[in-house]
Structure 1
Amino acid sequence: MFRTALSNVLAHKARLLMTTLAVMLGVAFVSGTLVFTDTFGNAYKNKTAKSFDHVSVAIRPDGDSSSQGDGSRKPSHLTDNLLKRAATLPGAEYAIGVVNGFTALADKDGKLVGGEWGATGSNYYPGKGGKDPRYAFTEGAAPKSAADIALDSRTAERTGFKVGDTVRYSTDGHVRTARVSGIFDTGDGSVVAGGSLVVLDNQTALKVLNKSEYDEIDVKAAAGTSESKLKSFVEKILPKRTDAVTGDQLSDDQERMIERQTGAMSHVLLTFAGIALFVGIFIIANTFTMLVGQRTKELALMRAVGASRCQVTCSVLTEAFLVGLVAAVAGFGLGLCISASLEILMDSDDASLPKGPIVIAPTTILVTLLMGVGVTMLAAWLPGRRAAKIPPVAAMNSVHATPATRGLLVRNTIGSLFVALGVVLLLMDDIYTMAAGAGTICVGVIVLTPLLSRPFIAASAPLLKPFGVTGKLSRLNSVRNPRRTASTAAALMIGLTLITAMTVIATSMSSAINKMAADSLKADYSVSMPNSKLAPEIREKIDKLPDVEVSSPLRSATAEADGSHSKINGVEPKSFGKLVSLDFTSGSVNGLKMGTALVDTDTAKEESLKTGDTLPLKFDADGKTIRLKVAGVYKGNALFNGIFASTSVIDPHLSKLLDDQVLVKTKGGASDRAEKAIVDALGSPAITVQDKDDISNAVAGAISLILNMLYGLLAMAILIAVLGVINTLAMSVFERKHEIGMLLAIGLDRAKVKQMVRLEAVVISLFGAVLGIGLGLFMGWATGGSIAEKIKTYSTEIPVGRIVIFLATAVVVGVIAAVWPARSAARLNPLTAIKSE
């Protein structure tokens, strides 16, 4: 039986080619993802491990006192005094203080270096011998005063800055200048990943980063002292709200963090790889169903001469094993290329990744082989089982066995139950339940596709009528085998279902943000600094501009209200009402003044508050309690929510006055001239000046970026679906050689034969597209109900333009997929084809 299976594979190489390609692509996606994440994680870990060489024990704030950069944290007492005590502990070689914070560096064109996520500043703390072990200087020297700054070598190379050059930088909106005193190498993970790191002398760093104490104190053990022993000494001097962590534990924590970060990316990529493989199952099942159908007499003869059902099934599964093995090996090789491509893609735009040798874990090889072989055998099992169940005499008498009515009835009943269950789950609020519901609906519709194919293809008759006899023949050929047509269309349906649902949600979300900005903002501009806060002087500069009519800072603190922590937004009461438009259920913005507060409906419900009630607040920073009268209750949204009070109320409870953003209204409204005046007055490379459209576009841009990434990932599933259409048509043409030969013999020209096959492909593709788009629209609508509960301005919008593009793409897919099968059909010799069985 093994020799028989091997000979069948070799005899049907061309017909199994598309199946091999489908499995290979899915496996390549999986193996490429695994290799890439393993390689990236290992290189990142090796690079960043260097940053802990100088740390034996680190003193850090505990979780309750970690700094948020808003000036409202509880002090953790990581002071110079504690630093000096740590440096003189028994077994300590030296101790250094560490501070870090967002620091925007301007390049020679005045643009931000390192991106908003990776622009970092730190301090140079001269430890033992007057050196900071974190930095290895290759040029120049360490910064010694506020007039000096040091740059990492990668940033210096990208910007062209050299020792002695003057640079501009900003931490809180103020633009400062300094001379490059030195250039250093570092293994800092942010720098390795494309960010920038500037180093200031210790006192300047504390001042400009708005730190009254260190973020961390690193202690190095002297020779002969273990980390655990040094930790026991450190723990004796720890103040409240601090922890001591060994260097090994820091390294382990970072390794786990890297695994989580790379794991999240890996899970996303593997999800789409799984979708691609799932789509491939339909192609494999279709291929083996047709191969078994074409060999029905052969298999029946094997049964007649003594082969058991099990042997027939095993013969088909052996063929699947050989095909899956070849595809898995080829897919693994292609996966290595995909891994390299992902690295190049992620390494573009100066966002360099750590370099290291390719990591091919044994588990990756094992998973790749098992997945390729397992998926192929799983898809081939049902056709093999069906082949074994056909009685030998019946099989010899009829090549094409019609599915039993009872079998179709059972199938349709199961499909309907799956769809009903999926709809119930999809309408739930829990995201995981909704995802399970979406998957269940997809499975149900896939089961029902043979039932749905007949009415759809019948409805396509008017579109095919202009093509005459070829249109009629293509329609009849499409419904000749509903199961085959359904499986081919289902592969395309899955990809388009996901794409359509995501497009509906993304389009609706963008519109919701636009409406929210239009409804909530009266201000013309919002001035902010990503990943950092603004000094109050920034607002003072803005107010001095002649075009500015009114402005207000948004300043935040945290406080406890009846046991729950809330964010308190400090604003200027006199101008706040001119800058925002809140939807009040009671009270109004005019009631906001010293001693009063505005609360959103969620806070009011949680604290059982209404207008006129008293709200007690205990500030986290100093532990003091104040009482504010509720002047109004409003409906919160993504832009404005929480508690609003006067800045004069929260300022006494902040160690540093810093603004989250400044809202600005100009006399003539938003204009290019007014925006340019604000930008020029501030002059910081990192300050963002946004009007309403910019705020909406920033959110919409992020959504579009994610959507485009998902389009790219789902393109793999679409490509595999195209292979499925090609495979189905090619094998269908082979089955119908006798019929096509007769058509050619009685006068149907070769161009018409090509047209018949092309129209059949288009009908099948459009069937899958209509199912996928319809299902995607329903899922997008159902998911929107859950989103609308959180974003009040959200309403489901149908992206008509993109749906038309999706339908047009389906037509193109059909035309392209039919090129090879149509050419094969047209080139048949009529006499030879008529002789074939």
Structure 2
Amino acid sequence: MASSSSAMTRVSMRNLRSHKLRFFLTILSVVLGTAFIAGSFMFTNSLSRAFDSIVDSTYKNVDAVASSQKGGGQSLDQEFRQRLVDDPHVSNVNISSNVQVVVGDKDNNTINTGGAPSVVGPYYSDDQQVSQGMEMVEGHAPHGPGEVIVNQTAADKNNIAVGDSLSLIDPTKPHQVTVVGIYSEDFEVGGYFGALMEEPAFLDEFRSGGVVDELMLESAQDESQQQFVDYLKGAYPGVEFKTGDQMVNEQTEQINTALSFVNYFLLAFGLIALLVGTFIIANTFSMIVAQRMREFALLRALGTSQRQLTASVVLEAAVIGLIGSLLGVAVGYGLVKLIYIALDSMGMGIPESGLALTAMGVIVPLILGVLVTVLSAWAPARRAGQVRPVEAMRMGDVSSSSSLKLRTVLGSVVLLAGIVAVVAGGWILSDASTGPRAGIIGLGAVLMILGTFMVSPALAIPVVPLVGRTIGLPFGAVGKLASTNSKRNPRRTATTAFALTLGVALVAAIGMFGATMKNSVTELTDSSIQAQYIVAGPASAGPGQFPVPRGAVQAIEDVNDVQDAVTFGVSGFTVDGESAAPGQPISFVMDGDPTAVTDIERVDGDVTFAEPGFLASESMAKKKGWTVGQDVPVGIGPTSTAGLAHVKLRGTYEDNKLLGNIVLSDSALTQVKKDVPQFASNGAAATTIQLIAVSGKPGVDEDQLRQELESAVDKFVIASVQTKTEYAGSQAVMVDQMLNILYGLLALAVVVAILGIINTLALNVVERKQEVGMLRAVGTKRMQIRTMITLEAVQISLYGALMGIVIGVFLGWAFIQAMQDQGLTGAVVPGDQLALMVIGSAVVGVVAALWPAHKAATTPPLDAIAD
């Protein structure tokens, strides 16, 4: 028994060596899926190590960190800091807060950091620094409000030299400074821009009132960090103190949590690629088994058992899976390197601390790769083992003649169940919340995909020849022959096409999301903002949109031809624990008459903000039982500071997507912060201006008004004057950037699908060697053979794309319906994109057929017939 098993092992290994091309194509589909999975682990591990080193460097030598208590307590103002400086237990005190800015160079052009932070913070000399020191490379220390030093990486990337002038623009105004030095730090990453200014100047220029968020302290005593913190807690109640080690652990945990999401996200696309590869591998082994029937029959005749034959095919699959997975790990390493190179070339702020193979990055791809390959080959392996010596003494795919009835009936039931679940989640359960509806749709999507796969062979019998006759019409007899060939083995055609179906379905669904999101932004802007121009900051500066400097408001109001200039901003205030948008503890803040520039329908009271107070949507007022004229508690966060101050409800309006649930007047918040000093010192209480809606005086020329506005805000660098259409387009850029990342990842699944088509066609050409030889013998030209094979590939590609579009559009519609509570309404089908996908799929078919068609066309007629 052992000797026969050993013999079968040798047969399996020799078979792999003798069919190198088939071996290579099958391995390649494993490599791509496992490479992405291995790369995702390595990428997130590399990021985690880099961020960990940044955190360690930030809090190195820090004994304690002081921060404001949530909901009140002692403000970290100048008086408090002086008490710490005078304390004999404290050696040094550093402000660790910084301020996000947009940087304009000496030519007044905005410096692009590629998403990395651009900040200004306080400078400390070597003997004053609490954390790990930075090294001065060139120039001297900054003095006064007009001088800064800049990190070396930013200086090199942006050609900044000592003596250059810069503009540092924060939400209040632009600050003109001169670069007097260049320094280096261990944690400079990507496009990070860090300007340092002398502490008193930093506080005067960027921290109104001298209040900061966080301080780093160094102990003057020979004591542990915990002992130092215990002393500080007793001496300074109302302030939160933590050890430096605690801060490292907390921030490391936060980073790992954030990166785990990135890892799951990348893993999902790797698994999609592996899922697509599963169909290809199964298809490949089915064809291999069909082509080796004579070989298997001979082995059975020589006494090989059914179990041994099955085991030999499974062994080949395991070897392919193992080699493919090992290569996938290596390719994943190279893939991450390419990601870093690409991000660096775009100036993206991604830190790198060196790549290293991890146990998870090797073991998980190996296990998944081998498991998927073996499972994919299991059904063909069993079919090989069931071969009867006499029955199998012929060429051809036995599976092609087996009945599809049971598979089609079961598949139809599963598909129908999936459609019902998707319709229920997207339409019937319209009163349910988003989470449960999305879960039901997700289950329905899985059932639909499984049901479609089972029904696809039966569906391919009428549909694929129809597609073939349509595209083959200009090619005459060759087109008819290709159309006939495509329905000879519907199982194979359907399985090959389904790999492309999955990729196209995902792209179509995501495309619907993108088109709907952009349309929602455009409709919201057009219908809700009644202004000629919108002044806003850059949409790509850091997370979200950078605020408009407050100085720009006065500059716009001073323009002679401006009739109304109403600011629209956000603040961390909540009213009776309620916020403007679900899940976000913020309120919208307006300065001016909302009715002048927004489409607001009054329900009760006054909605012009003639007097300070707040407005509420009709549904929110009913929910809370508020009445016009009522004083309502205002605070920061859901409940932490509610009751310290009150604002009056001035009016209610019909539910409005732009205004949300609550709108506070800027004058009301100004008064609240005067009445409650702890609000004034809380960073969350600050109002950031998102946009200024501007309308001109009657009869003013719009082009003239635009020129006047552009001249007024020119000195603020980041403030741009846009029409409503232009503003909506700038917001859509962020949607496009997100979609491009998703499309790039989904391209992996499409590449795997293309390889599947190549693989199927190549094996199909080998299987049809006699047929092709006969066609050549009766006078068919090489070009006609190439055309026939190419048309067959295009048919498969178009069939897969059309199924994918139908599935993707249906699922996209359902998910959009389920997200109506999140403001996503009015599903939009991106017709242009879908048409391009159909055309692209046809091109995929042509490209996939290049090599197999060439191989078929160069088949010697006599050799093929004699085979």
Compute the TM-score of the two structures, normalised by the length of structure 2.
Answer: 0.88
The Cα of 1:222 is off from its aligned counterpart by 4.5
Match of residue 598 from structure 2: 580
- 1:775-808 per-position Cα deviation (integer Å, ceiling 9, x unaligned): 111122222212344337x322222222221111
Residue of structure 1 aligned with 2:633, choices 614, 617, 632: 617
Counterpart selection for 1:22 from 9, 29, 54: 29
Partners in 1 of 2:56 and 2:560 — Cα distance?
53
2:661 aligned with 1:663: no
Spell out, residue by residue over 1:723-759, the C-alpha distance to the aligned partner (whole angstroms, 9 max, x if none).
1111111211211222222222233333222222111
Gap change, CA 1:49 and 1:602, over 3 Å in 2: farther
- 8 A contact 1:552–1:572 mirrored in 2: yes
Partner SS for 1:795: coil
- How far off is 1:666 after superposition? 2.6
Change (3 A) 1:75 1:166: farther
Change (3 A) 1:351 1:763: closer
1:70 alignment counterpart: none
Between the two proteins, the alignment pairs up a number of residues equal to 818
> What CA distance in whole angstroms lies between the structure 2 residues aligned with 1:565 and 1:629?
14
What is the alpha-carbon distance in structure 2 between the residues aligned to residue 820 and residue 477 of structure 1? 19
Aligned-residue CA RMSD (Å):
2.9
- Distance, in Å, in 1 between the alignment partners of 2:529 and 2:182 is 45
Question: Paired residue for 2:670, among 645, 651, 658?
Answer: 651
Give the gaps of 5 or more residues in structure 1: 66-73
Q: Which amino acid aligns with 2:45?
A: D
* Aligned counterpart for 2:311 among listed residues 308, 311, 314: 314
1:11 to 1:534, Cα distance in 2 relative to 1, 3 A: closer
Greater displacement, 311-320 / 590-599: 590-599
Aligned counterpart in structure 2 of residue 593 of structure 1, from 595, 607, 610: 610
1:306 alignment partner, SS class: coil
Match of 1:632 in 2: 652
How far apart in 2 are the matches of 1:555 and 1:814?
A: 52
Question: Residue 101 of structure 1 contacts residue 120 of structure 1 at CA under 8 Å; is this kept in 2?
Answer: yes
Question: Contact between 1:56 and 1:221, CA under 8 Å: does it hold in 2?
Answer: yes
Secondary structure of 2:663's match? strand
How far the C-alpha of 1:719 sits from its partner, in A, is 1.6
Question: Hey, what's the Cα distance between the residues in 1 that align with 2:129 and 2:755?
Answer: 67
Alignment partner of 1:550 is 2:567: no
User: Which amino acid letter does the alignment assign opposite residue 636 of structure 1?
Assistant: N
Aligned pair in 2 of structure 1 residues 421, 125: CA closer, same or farther (>3 Å)? farther
Rounded to whole Å, the distance in 2 between the matches of 1:564 and 1:798 is 35
For residues 265-287 of structure 1, the C-alpha deviation after alignment (integer angstroms, 9 at most, x for no partner) is: 33322222221111111111111
Q: Structure 1 counterpart of 2:829, which letter?
A: I
Alpha-carbon separation, structure 2, partners of 1:370 and 1:680: 63
Question: Residues 533 and 695 of structure 2 are in contact (CA less than 8 Å); yes or no, is this contact kept in structure 1?
Answer: yes
2:503 aligns to what?
495
Confirm or deny: 8 A CA contact 1:173 1:684 kept in the other structure.
no
- Give the residue type in structure 1 aligned to 2:624: E
Q: Please state how far the C-alpha of 1:486 moved relative to its aligned partner.
A: 0.6
Q: Check the 8 A contact 2:612/2:667 in 1, yes or no.
A: no
Distance 1:645 1:672 in 2: 33
1:698 corresponds to 2:730: yes
The answer as to whether partners of 1:524 and 1:691 remain within 8 angstroms in 2 is yes
> Which residue of the other structure, out of 619, 624, 628, is the alignment partner of 1:607?
624
Confirm whether residue 11 of structure 1 aligns to residue 29 of structure 2. no
1:339-358 → structure 2 map (5 Å cutoff): 339-358=336-355
Which residue pairs with 1:790 in the alignment? 822
CA distance in 1, matches of 2:401, 2:622: 60
* SS class of match (1:368): helix
* 1:293 to partner: Cα distance: 0.9
From 395, 405, 411, the counterpart of 2:407: 411
Partner of 1:270: 267
Alignment match, 1:475: 483
Q: Is 1:678 matched up with 2:709?
A: yes
Residue type matched to 2:56 in 1?
A
Cα distance in 1 for residues equivalent to 2:394 and 2:156? 78
SS at match of 1:635: coil
Q: How does 1:721-740 map to 2 (within 5 A)?
A: 721-740=753-772
Please tell me the residue identity of whatever aligns with 2:119: T
Could you tell me how far 1:197 is from its partner in structure 2?
Answer: 1.4
In the other structure, the counterpart of 1:373 is: 370
Aligned partners of 1:524 and 1:670 also within 8 Å: no
Q: Is the 8 A contact 1:91 1:221 kept in 2?
A: yes
Shift of 1:75: 5.8
SS of residue paired to 2:404: helix
- In structure 2, what is the Cα distance between the partners aligned to 1:828 and 1:164? 73
Q: Is the 8 A contact 1:93 1:220 kept in 2?
A: yes
Q: CA deviation at 1:206?
A: 2.2
Distance, in Å, in 2 between the alignment partners of 1:387 and 1:208 is 79
Return the alpha-carbon distance in structure 1 between the equivalents of residues 180 and 470 of structure 2. 78
Residues 636, 513 of structure 1: CA spacing in aligned structure 2 closer, same or farther, 3 A cutoff? same
Code of the residue aligned with 2:663 in structure 1: it is: F
Distance (Å, rounded) in 2 between the aligned partners of 1:532 and 1:828: 64
Residues 551 and 665 in structure 1, CA contact (< 8 A), matched pair in contact too: yes
Residue of structure 2 aligned with 1:800, choices 805, 813, 831: 831
Q: Does 1:442 align with 2:449?
A: yes
1:538 alignment partner in structure 2? 552
Q: Quick one: structure 1 residues 163 and 419, their matched pair in 2 at CA, closer, same or farther if it must change by over 3 Å?
A: same
Counterparts in 2 of 1:589 and 1:493: CA distance versus 1, 3 Å: farther
Query: What letter matches 1:326 in structure 2?
Result: I
Q: Equivalents in 2 of 1:790, 1:39: separation in Å?
A: 34
- Cα offset for 1:532? 5.8
Aligned counterparts, 1:155-166, within 5 A: 155-166=154-165
CA distance change for structure 1 residues 477 and 681 in 2, over 3 Å: closer, same or farther?
A: same
**Cα 1:495/1:628, change in 2 over 3 Å:** same
Deviations 1:608-627 (A, max 9, x none): 457x5736233447944435
Structure 1 distance, partners of 2:331, 2:372, is 18
Q: Percent identity?
A: 28
Moved more, 97-106 or 492-501: 97-106
**Residue 777 of structure 1 pairs with residue 803 of structure 2:** no
2:245 to 248, 263, 271: 248
- Structure 1 residue 57 and structure 2 residue 64: aligned? yes
| Distance 1:232-1:39 versus aligned 2 partners, 3 A rule | same
Among 232, 238, 244, which residue is 1:234 paired with? 232
What residue identity is the alignment partner of 2:332?
G
